[in-house]
Amino acid sequence: MEKIYKYPLALEDKQTIEMPIGSQILCVQTQFNQPYIWAMVNPNLPPIGVKIEIYGTGESITNPFPSYLKYIGTFQINNGHEVYHVFLNELVSVPINPNNS
């Protein structure tokens, strides 16, 4: 059975989020000034590490723009003074060892 889960984002350029394999990212938003990714997941499936990249408005991005980065959303914090754009790195997913969880 699928469920919708939320995953907190750190304000870091690159990070790995653990999600069940086959998860579908729905959106990126803030809740109480904390950014999250919401995803439809099957919690019974094994986890993988999903690579996320975040760029602030005005930050340099590799030119040409990497085709393996898929835009998944934008969020604002600090009353709109900071705006960030979130991308899924479709090239990389990392198996998670369930014994190390």
Show the domain range for 32.
3-100
Write out pLDDT tens, residues 14-58.
999 999 999 999 999 999 999 999 999 999 999 999 999 999 999
| Omega within 30 of 0 (cis) for the link into 64 | yes
- How far apart CA 10 and CA 37 sit, in angstroms, is 11
Distance CA 26, CA 4 (A): 9
pTM for the predicted model, two decimal places: 0.86
Nearest to 95 by CA among 51, 44, 36, 42: 51
